[in-house]
Amino acid sequence: MREFPSTLHNTPIISNDNPDLSDMDQIACMPLDVTRPFKFDDGVIEEFLTYEDRIIEGEIQQTILWKRSEIVLHTRGKTPDDFTNTTKLTQNFYDRYKIFPLEEFNINPILSERLQEQVQHLMDYIQEELAIFPAHLTLLLSTGPVPPHTDVPHDQVSKFHNKGLEPSQIKIILNLEDYDDSLFFMKYGTWGKSLIPEIKYFEKEKHMPAETNCFAWSENFHRHGAVFEDNKTYRAIISIQGPLDKEKHKLIIENSFKKYKSNVVAFEMGNNETFVWNR
């Protein structure tokens, strides 16, 4: 049986059809136009996860809002402590849009030589295909339901780092063959104890073209979350946090919209009174 996140205060309305798309801010998720999907070598994801206890300290479980395995692949730091210290890693996430010297960023030194080569392969792919610097690069495997959220700390919500560039959160879904339609997106302005949430499931057949596994998700508006089913749900996602090459990102988004308009997840926003982006 599928388990919804406990933080969903009310039973959601599940919708399917998209509105007429007149604004990119309506888009919760869009496939990205790349020349090829990204793939690690066989067995690499499982090998990464054997490092979990040495990469994410046990104390971080007190700050995590949902069950997951998370491996830091590349961030600002040099020593093993820089890649295991919860305080430092949290600060790196907060500083993801700041510009620091490139030599301050490194692949996790705890990883084996083979895995470091795989991370470099990933970073080469990001540089070639996408428009983002991987200031904080992680591999996530969900092990329970995920509460609806955006990947923006509460005190940064009003800063709109990527204003006019939505959807601007870049993700790579690795195991499409195992994906069980468990991710969902929530309409902006329908989150809260007194509101009925409106969600749309992220469906393999409808939203995942075979020629890409890269996606842009809403950063400031539509939340994402997931249900979970024991012995079935298996989602391996690469999360790329960092500053965008704005002009390149705009071009990728424009080309992706033309190619994948029928594959996006989107919500009507024009008459939403809580839509407060000051244009």
Determine the Cα–Cα distance for residues 64 and 51; give it in Å rounded to an integer. Answer: 18
Confidence band, pLDDT 50/70/90 cuts, at residue 35 = very high
The pLDDT tens digits of the residues spanning 46-64 come to 898 777 655 454 444 444 4
Q: What is the mean pLDDT of the chain?
A: 85
What b-and-e string marks burial along 228-263, b requiring 16 or more CB atoms within 10 Å of the CB? beeeebbbbbbbbbbebeeeebeebbeebbebbeeb
Instruction: Quote the pLDDT of residue 59.
Output: 45
Q: Cα separation of 168 and 112, whole Å?
A: 31
Would you state the pLDDT for residue 160?
67
For the chain, strand residue ranges (E) read: 13-14, 27-31, 68-76, 105-107, 136-142, 146-149, 169-173, 183-186, 198-201, 214-217, 223-226, 236-241, 265-266
How far from 168 is each of 58, 246, 270, CA to CA, in Å?
Answer: 31, 10, 20
Question: pLDDT band at 3, cuts 50/70/90?
Answer: low
Residues β-bridged to residue 107: 74
Q: In Å, what is the CA distance from 107 to each residue of 8, 61, 73, 210, 231?
A: 36, 23, 6, 29, 32
> What's the pLDDT band for 18 if we cut at 50, 70, 90?
confident
Instruction: Report percent pLDDT > 90 for the chain.
Output: 50
- Regarding pTM above 0.85, the answer is yes
Residue 184 predicted with pLDDT over 90: yes
Q: Each residue of 224-238: pLDDT tens digit?
A: 998 887 766 678 899
At 44 the pLDDT is: 93
* Among 76-80, 114-118, 196-200, 249-253, the least confident range: 196-200
The identity of residue 131, as a single letter, is: A
Q: pLDDT grade, residue 196 (50/70/90)? A: confident
Instruction: Report the C-alpha gap between 190 and 230 in whole angstroms.
Output: 28
**Residue 278 pLDDT class (50, 70, 90 cuts):** very low
